[in-house]
Structure 1
Amino acid sequence: MESIPKNDCQKIGYLQKPHGVRGEMVLQLEDDYTESLEAYPTIFLEIDGLLVPFFLTKDGIRSRSAEAVLVKLDWIDSEEIARKFCGSSAYLLNSDLIFEEDEMTLHHLIGFTLIDSLKGKIGEIEQVDDYAGNLLLTVHFEGQEVLIPFNEDFLIRFDEDQKEIELQCPDGIFDDL
């Protein structure tokens, strides 16, 4: 069985907790992906390191707050079953993401070439994760996966047309490679 590569998906949040007794769950969102969820009712949950598809039931999404929605997934019909999935990261296919035409989001950085002001070209940004406001860019450099913290203070140049982002990466980040 072939799994969906994470590079083809964007993490949208995680399942926080069950809601009620019929299997509904709170999906804590990292950004506003509600329109994407309504248009494309397939989400992927990370289970044992693999992305597993789940389908929203008809009318399976309700707004709860600006940062969370209630979701109801096929085959999950009790609080007990829903509880087993709590804590799972949720993803959407990159091709299923809907953005406003001129809206730039973290997802758009995937595929950009990362350049360090001292080392030069590092590699292509493969993933962008937001851990409570701390952004990490995932790139491969000299055959190893490197997590590079992103902060506006590190930004030297951003070229959307060339798909390049130049940072002054923190000291020591490439020392052990």
Structure 2
Amino acid sequence: MKKEECFYLGKIVSKFSFRGEVLAKLDTDEPQLYKDLESVFIAHGNDLVPFFIEKARLHKSDLLRLKIEDVNSEEDADRLMRSELYLPLAFLPKLDGNKFYFHEIVGFQMIDESFGRVGVIKGVNDTTAQALFEVERDGKEILIPMNDEFIKEVNRKKKEVVVATPEGLIDLYLQ
């Protein structure tokens, strides 16, 4: 399995018991969706290695306590510390309406209600205080704040995201 075929689930952050249990911090608003996992991919360098889970349960609401098959001691668990966890994209719950996963809108056209066709969404920058659509238009990058008030429609059939940005925002990038 390749990382491009998976999504980042979280990271193993600490040991829990002398029997090799670990705690994983999940990158999700709904950790309860993952309490019945049967397996997970753990990043090992550039590779993803499958591991089977004997038992998983929520711990203090936002951590997942995992007992991974063949991880039976503190030493075994030490080797997994700070490892990233991944699951196949097919495990993501389907979203509808104007909700979307960042990876799913890459390649969509961005249409502004006033400006018209803005360009192609190349990615999402979520390292800033507010996530930004990265849109390419004629070799130029246009950054559009990912604001619920701006997003008017996500049309999966047409592969379009329709927005209503403040007047002049897009023009700033084109001058």
Question: Shorter-chain TM-score category?
Answer: 0.5 to 0.7
TM-score (norm 2): 0.66
1:80 is paired with a residue whose SS is helix
C-alpha separation between the residues in 1 aligned to 2:33 and 2:78? 25
Letter of the 1:13 counterpart? G
Offset, 1:24: 0.5
Task: Report 1:159-174 matches (<5 A).
Answer: 159-161=154-156, 162-165=158-161
Check conservation: 1:36, 1:97, Cα contact below 8 A: no
C-alpha separation between the residues in 1 aligned to 2:48 and 2:136? 21
Aligned residues: 161
C-alpha separation between the residues in 2 aligned to 1:83 and 1:134? 35
1:85 is paired with a residue whose SS is coil
Offset, 1:151: 3.8
Gaps of 5+ in 1: none
For 1:74, the equivalent position in structure 2 comes to: 69
Letter of the 2:39 counterpart? T
For 2:25, the equivalent position in structure 1 comes to: 28
Taking a change above 3 Å as real, the CA distance of residues 73 and 152 of structure 1, as seen in their structure-2 partners, is: same
Letter of the 2:71 counterpart? I
Check conservation: 1:111, 1:124, Cα contact below 8 A: no
**CA-atom RMSD in angstroms:** 4.1
Check conservation: 1:13, 1:28, Cα contact below 8 A: yes
C-alpha separation between the residues in 2 aligned to 1:82 and 1:8? 26
The percentage of aligned residue pairs carrying the same residue is 20
Taking a change above 3 Å as real, the CA distance of residues 157 and 104 of structure 1, as seen in their structure-2 partners, is: closer
What per-residue deviation string (whole Å, max 9, x for no partner) do you get for residues 150-171 of structure 1? Answer: 642894544244343367799x
User: Which residue of the other structure, out of 85, 91, 97, is the alignment partner of 1:96?
Assistant: 91
Taking a change above 3 Å as real, the CA distance of residues 159 and 27 of structure 1, as seen in their structure-2 partners, is: same
Larger radius of gyration: 2
C-alpha separation between the residues in 2 aligned to 1:111 and 1:71? 29
